[in-house]
Structure 1
Amino acid sequence: MTWLRLARKNAARKPLRLALLVFSVAIAFLIHGLTASFLAGSQGSSAASDDLLGVMSAAGPAQPLPLSYMPRLEAEPGVAAVSHVARLRGFLDRETNVIAIAAVDPTRAAAVNGPELGLTPTLMTSLDESRDSLLAGRALAEEQGWAVGDSVAVTAFTMAQKDGSRVWRFRIAGIFEGASASTDTYFAIARYEYINALRANGTDTADVFAVRPEPGTSASTLAPAIDAQFANSSAPTRTQSEKQFLEAFLRQFADVKLITGLVTSAAFITLLMIITNTMVFAVRERRFETGVLKALGVPPARIAVLILGETGFVFVIGGAMGLGLTGLAALFGPPALGLVLTGPVIAEALLLMAGFALLTGLLPAWSAMRIPVIAAFRKR
């Protein structure tokens, strides 16, 4: 009988209690896994870049900037490439099925965002085939059931055409994958000239300019230099990194990191109290057995390790179940959620398992170590 096997036997002495403890741990780690995977995925700021810059109006993202800013941005020292983007937000079939389309110049977009989005030369060539061509991100295409060659009609929320219609028609010319699993691909790319020629308002303007700095140029240094160039113009700018922009965008609705942190903390604090309380009572039930071990010469430290092994067994089984369910959600869940179970998320979960197994076992282990042999035998 090894100490590990004895710890497992003690934990499984009451199967119902063990099942409830494992279930509680699994739920807590499922909550942690889902929130951490959300933040690590395409909807979280960790998927964004600190190097790429976005130049938008200082008055807010709803105010466009003139295309005449393009040459001035390209002439700024330290700028490698610039792309202009016009955003078209609309829906397909129903208003809750929201779709975001970025209208760009294919050549410029490939130079700025090509590596991150996986915009291969073949994809960019397909976008050039016709003015109404559309490149769909993998997550968006899977969610909508799109395939190359399909025709789609997107009803814009605000961007109307010159004839008053808000229905924009496109043909799916290709699907881009993104450089990694955490890359946001829940949007589509259209040709700027197609949108610009037909829209009723905002002609020759861009909602944002995407800027790629030259190698060796710090984005944090380039951003204020760009804003200083347009400080006294009719449309001052605000330049941020892609990561800063996404974090600010999410904070418009809520502080996502704070909310997920509070939810996860509440789950783990509740778990800590439940497991600790249960283990304290379990140790009290086994006072006589603890006294026998001490009478046989087992050191108190060994008894403490035995109890810590019991809590560790509960957390390993429950935590593995929670992470397994998170992995299934990331693989088969809706692409719009952007769940990505990354290595750092798994490593953090493993550290939490070890930490909480230690924390929940300390009090009952300390109690077992301090039980006098005579007092333990009296409880028989």
Structure 2
Amino acid sequence: MTLQPLQQETCLALKDYNNQYIGMISVKVYGIYYKCQKRVEFYSRDHEFVTESSHRCYRAGSCKENTCENTKPTDKLEEFSRAANDHPGYYAKPTTQFAYEVYTCPTWDLVVRADITVNKGGSTETKRITLRPGATTAWNNIRFTLIGTIVPQLPILSATFMTNFKQTAVVEPAHKGQIIPNTIGQFQCSTLLNAKQFRCQFTSKCCTCSKGIQKATCICSDGNLTKHMTNSRLPLAGKNFLLYKKKANLYAKVNIGSALQMQIVAEHLAIRSRMHKGTCSIQVSELEGCYSCLAGATLGLVCKCNEGEMTANIECPSQNQMAKCTTTGYLNKLVFHFDISKVSLNCNASWLGGTTNVTIKGILHYVDDDLIATETIARNSPGIETFDTSFLAKT
């Protein structure tokens, strides 16, 4: 059977070989989760590059005959500080005590969590199970196997992440050995201990210097890594994903646009699916948010049906979404992405038993992703509490 991770309850009737009803199984899938198997690229520190310049007239100070031609990098000149003499040319010094870990996720482990309820013989039992691809979980003489998943393309999973061991953010791509000025990777330390001791590497191209009459002037790359922790900081939500940290692990939860295939086998019993056909009503708010941005635009959609829980497919000319419907009315927060400011779309909402027209409209704003990051974090942080991820502690 194919299910969607919308916390929607799917009911299956249990029958014996005489086709007599003896009970029911309900399956509620909470989500498809990916756990990052990280690869550390390098460690780093907040830093700044320092240069020193000194002007001396002929025969003043260290300026003797042929001094410039004969001075070696190991020579100590009285015009420079001890640090400059120990690190000829220019050198780096720490500006904070923070150490950073920069890593990528070459692979992600997939996990599906679901609640199974069996109602049989007048008694009801519920169990939360964790499924992995190809593995079978048995409970109450019933076997559950995750056959496969269907998920949208998620380029965010190939991103580069940086953490100060308290917070994590998505940063520009950076890799071990690629010491490039004006990037996250311009100052690399091989281990965390080396980072704490400020034993790191940088390229000689981090500063560009020009000489003048009285002094040499150098323009150096900015080494402030702290500022990158405020841009695209986790938890980070998009249309189809939620990126968040739990303890030391990084997880991605996919929802809209995803589905899974599960095989359910009951020993000595037959299973029949039960489907409700009902009438639903849908109300929507105006779109709010930004266009041409990662956070996207948010639409509040309330779906109310007269026959149990159902799923409505919201089909628009440019994109689709899924909404959960209940008898009391369920408020869905749907995320859309547009590249225009003024939006007015005629969409179609369909469910098992009917369809209706839905108009989506609103005025969106253009906001740079770096500026909207703080607002995105504030808006999504309370929502993370609704995702019970306690089962992940065992993975």
The answer to which structure has the higher strand fraction is 2
Higher relative contact order (CA closer than 8 Å, sequence separation 6+): 1
Q: What TM-score, normalized to structure 1?
A: 0.20
The answer to which structure has the higher helix fraction is 1
Q: What TM-score, normalized to structure 2?
A: 0.20
